[in-house]
Chain A
Amino acid sequence: MSIGWALVGVLVIAGLGALGAVATGSRGRALVAGVSTAGVGVFGVLAGVSALGGEAFSKTIPQLLPLSEVTVTVDALSGLFCALIGGVAVIAGLYNIGYSDGHGSRTGQSLLPLFVAAMILVPAAGNVTTFLVLWEVMALVSLMLVLAEHRLRPSVRDAGVWYAAMTHAGLVAILLGLVLFASKAGGESFTALRDADLSTTTRSVIFVLVFVGFGSKAGMVPLHVWLPRAHPEAPSPVSALMSAAMVKLGLYGVLRVGLDLLGGGPRWWWLLVLVAGGVSALFGVLQASVAVDLKRLLGYSTTENMGLILLGVGAGGMFAADGNRTLGSLLIAAGLLHALNHAGFKTLLFLGAGSVLRATGLRDLDRLGGLVSRMPATTALFGVGALAAAALPPGNGFVSEWLLLQGLIHGLPGADAVVAVAMPLAVGVVALTAGLGVATFVKAFGTGFLARPRSEEAAGAKESPRTMRFAMLVAAAVCAGLAISPASLGPALTRVLEALPTVRDGSPLEGGVTLRLTGIAGSISPVLILAGLFVAGLLVVVLVRRGLPRRESLVWGCGGTRLDPRMEYTATSFAEPLTRVFDDVLRPEHDVDVTHHAESQYLIESVRYRQRVDDRVEAALYPPVLAAGNKLGAVLSRLQNGSVHRYLALGLGGLIVVLVVVGLTA
């Protein structure tokens, strides 16, 4: 199918879906919204796949958008992101059918297909205004979706405000950057921008502005503050769409503007990207490792993964700037592959968390547990996602992190001091991130799903409806496919890299069973590792199977009686060693409330212990800004104190100033 028709399909289905969801009653609404969302996703995938197959598309519609025009261009880079978003949308749409069945709000459901359509169209934008409009439509619709459950929890409102503010701040940076670009280039179509001949200073200003903007969308520290608030508060299919798909558009922006439109740049740009990515990865995973809210944990994990992706892109950009296209293309391919992988497993994980939320009403890991027997399918599927997110073989996250490391460690020969310092640190960051990521997902899976339930809600959990399980199964299958055969994406990635002039260099990875890299002696075979694990495991089971049957026993309670679920290790206690080790960074707050007996202060009635780990970056950076704003408001309020004399005095003063200025500038 041609890309143009696929995009028309996206728009038409989204429009029909939205109208349909508005028109249907509460019973069929989730079905209409879910099916149309999935339909939009299918068309997105079709458009993306066509583009990745080498088709290109470009169209200008001058009748739309006053003061400008609509331009749509789709190349392989756009295609990758269209396909990614479309894929996530298909799964989230299917999931929505069961998830929102009977209680999806009219607004929330009808906006779902529109959100997906906006996201799919963002990478298809071909000029500055079109891009900005679509970008902001996407932001607005996602904001409204985040707010969908505003009546249920007061925290939704705060999350919405934070999200709105941060996304608008990001827009401001992007807007300024792109408009500056367009103005200097003398045209606002991407073609004109690409052909522009600008000074390095201008280009750098543009890049930094744009990076700040896209970075905030991608959840880069310190602009990430909205992400761990908004992603958890949104309904779960929306969380999945935001975390798996929307943040990727930040990556798209960096690639499109940095490597395509600006055509690469000096090395420090990419060093900036690398550092921002590294800091985000580390900070994100640290916060995730101590988070006890499952969806918040997943949100911080998104910051972490986007950090890793941008770290790869940054390193790739650095090498490309040095002329080392082999590593440049490898690292960017690694970043893109990780983006795909992250989309896969984060969709799965957020949907899994949604199922848990739906079944128990809980996001608090400290109160979950025991779901493995109550929601076996969900547990198993979440486990697949957690394995991938922990970047362990045979999960798909492992492959892209492996590629990333390969790219990072091979740059040393022939490098200068900057690279020689940056790369080891980057490897250290990736490694620590990987390690903490493992701990994080062991915690999420181990305390959230295993053992015995820690609350009545968790004990009463029921398995999710079939559509939800099916959607998660699809996501898991996608993860598995990506894990088993990453090399099959080689041609597509090659085509994407061809859209980036300074990086373009043949195909970065190839091979069938074994994943090989071009220009680097390194290989792994995810299939064979999986097969090996399977065979070895089977052997062990078969060999050991003989003998006495398994028996159930009481757990050892140090000689005490049967253990209470309250005595189980919780997520908080699991993360305690990490909290202590990273005390200086996390600065946890402890509250101990001791209630004494009425009769004697030496007898204790109860002890309450609470630990809170706030986002320290947020606490350090944002309150001063808000305080400055309030100060400004307070100062200016004094001008408006109600006295008409003061108002008139202001006028007279203004008049005098104007007269003086007119006199002086004569």
Chain B
Amino acid sequence: MTGTPALLLTLAPIVAPIAAAAAAYLMGWRRPVAIATVAAAAIVLIAGAWSATWTADGGEVAAGNWLRIDALSGVMLIVIGAVGVVATWAGIGYLDDELATGHTDVEGARRYGVLVPLFLAAMVVAVLANNLGLLWAAVEGTTIVTAFLVGHRRSRRSVEASWKYVIICSVGIALAYLGTVLVNYAAEHAGVEGSLDWTQLVAHASELDPGVMRLAFALLVVGFGTKAGLVPLHSWLPDAHSQAPAPVSALMSGVLLPVAVYALARYRVIAVAGIDPGFVRGLLLAVGLASLLLAAGLLLAQRDYKRLLAYSSIEHMALAVVGLAIGTPLAIAATLLHIVGHGLGKAVLFCSAGEILAREGTTRIDAVRGLFARTPVLAGLFGAGLVALLGLPPFSLFVSEIGLIRAMVGAGAWWVAAVVLLLLLVVFVAISGKAAGILLGDPPSRDPGVSAPAAGSSGVVGTVATVAGLRASTVVPLVGALVAVAVLGIVDWPLGQLLHAAGQIVGTR
């Protein structure tokens, strides 16, 4: 599809969040603004789903040379939209609590209201960009937008986290820019018109100079790998994810990291055509497996449940990159399904972890005990999210992990499959052991004087409905997300064809 409808379809998911941001800027953090933010995320989701009508059978929605939706972008739009809806919806209650407990002020809430939709918009631009320079700029834009979201609370720790975040990510993304420049160089030299247009580059991928492209691809892997939380510049991630407000952590982990992986997927298509596929696979595998090892080891040693979730994000992105490394259509489809499942699951986890933090006042794993006995609904959400992320059925991560393993073995990389499975086992043991400590058992007898901040207390935005001490506006999106992940794990139709088409775009035999 091209022309004006295509332009509308591609611009809508960008404009909607920007409009929500503008509203927040003008009106401050109010209920209508909050709803508008959720609606903006929903528009992204709808745009993604709608575009699937054209893209699921291999078509595309192109608006000029700059913006374009194909199946791959479509999947990413759906991820952004879905996770966005969950995070912004659950974020309403979060911010109400923050305001009620005095952790933030009206100005802080306004900033939050402006930055979150802008963050969404930047990510949408990244996945819709056909021009790789624009893609880069949008990814860099996310860093700038989220810098102040990470430091939302202005505590020592959040300032520390945001400094590390901005410095490391800026460096990493600068390296990606260098890579982009080199691709541009190779493209110009090969006489590719519109030298950073992805479509053009793919069409002429085999003409690009392999020497330059190898260097470029290596820099891109390190650079975008930084944003995806991959070794060697992964270190910002646990700090930023543990300090950012829960809904922002959810968005960063669930969407931002995958967007970086998405960028790598786009470049992979160009790289494999021009240079030795073994190099591409080896590099991605090295980065992926090293990250997986790191995540597994640090999960074992973890004492903080928000950092635990952060390392779990590293683990899942590592898995996604290993999927890219394998790069068969099945691997790509599985990777994308994995990204979808991970995004939603992580949103649930970060949002419920935020609630746990609000109640318990600590993020130490050994300080939270017997959660099921005290707040069954919250513990159930957290537990179900963990079950999903540990890759157990009926959640889609199980199917996608099987798909990934099948792809690995099918591509002859059975040793990779073995290593990955072993490391995943370590991850499983680490997370399940710690989760058992948090969730199960009898609660410790508490000092009655110290009561957790009253959940469900009326915030600035008005009275709220509660479910078992949790806001409906928190429970509904989280339960919805879990149901969605489960449905995706059981039924093929919502995404199956789209994933298949995306697999065809990126995948190589």
Contacts and interface: CB of A to CB of B under 8 A. Distances in A.
Given A64-B491, A154-B441, A662-B214, A136 B398 contact: yes
Interface residues of A, number: 61
A644 B428 contact: no
B421 A66 contact: no
A662 to B, nearest CB: 5
A317 B414 CA distance: 28
B492 A62 contact: yes
Given A65-B492, A640-B238, A654-B231, A168 B425 contact: yes
Interface stretch (B48-56, B70-78, B293-301, B347-355): B293-301
Q: Which of B235, B283, B330, B499 has the most CB of A within 10 A?
A: B235
A129 to B, nearest CB: 6
Contacts of A64: 490-492
A634 B299 CA distance: 10
Given A633-B300, A648-B168, A654-B233, A157 B330 contact: no
B176 to A, nearest CB: 12
A66 B163 contact: no
Nearest to B428: A168
B438 to A, nearest CB: 11
B437 A136 contact: no
A179 B402 contact: yes
Nearest to A665: B279
A109 B168 CA distance: 50
A69 B233 CA distance: 39
Contact of B491 (A63, A183, A634): A63
Interface string A645-661: 01110110111001101
Nearest to B172: A651
A647 B239 CA distance: 12
B425 A644 contact: no
A136 B215 CA distance: 43
Nearest to B400: A67
A176 interface: yes
B405 A179 contact: yes
B233 A647 contact: yes
B301 A151 contact: no
Contact of A157 (B299, B424, B436): B436
Interface in A130-189: 132-133, 136-137, 139-140, 147, 150-152, 154, 156-157, 160-161, 164-165, 168-169, 172, 175-176, 179-180, 182-183, 188
A632 B300 contact: yes
B87 interface: no
Contacts of A543: none
A651 B232 contact: yes
B118 interface: no
Interface stretch (B123-131, B262-270, B357-365, B388-396): B388-396
B164 to A, nearest CB: 5
Contacts of A60: none
A133 B398 contact: yes
Given A183-B406, A632-B297, A651-B226, A151 B442 contact: yes
A154 B373 CA distance: 13
Nearest to A634: B301
Contacts of A172: 421-422, 424-425
A183 B236 contact: no
B141 interface: no
Contacts of B337: 66-67
Given A67-B330, A637-B298, A647-B236, A179 B406 contact: yes
A324 B410 CA distance: 37
A650 B440 contact: no
Nearest to B442: A151
A635 interface: yes
A151 B219 CA distance: 52
B222 interface: yes
A151 B370 contact: yes
Contacts of B7: none
Q: What 3 pairs between A and B have smallest CB-CB spacing?
A: A654-B232, A633-B301, A647-B235
Interface of B: 163-164, 167-168, 171-172, 175, 211, 214-215, 218-219, 221-222, 226, 231-233, 235-236, 238, 279, 283, 293-294, 296-302, 330, 333-334, 337, 370, 372-373, 387, 392-394, 396, 398-400, 402-403, 405-406, 409-410, 414, 417-418, 421-422, 424-426, 428-430, 432-433, 436-437, 440-442, 488-493, 495-496, 499
Given A161-B433, A632-B296, 12 more contacts: A64-B490, A129-B406, A164-B432, A172-B422, A180-B417, A183-B406, A635-B297, A640-B238, A647-B235, A654-B232, A658-B221, A662-B218
27 contacts: A62-B492, A68-B399, A129-B406, A133-B402, A137-B394, A139-B392, A140-B393, A150-B441, A151-B372, A152-B442, A161-B432, A165-B429, A168-B425, A168-B428, A168-B429, A172-B421, A176-B409, A176-B418, A183-B409, A636-B297, A636-B298, A647-B164, A650-B231, A654-B233, A655-B222, A659-B215, A661-B283
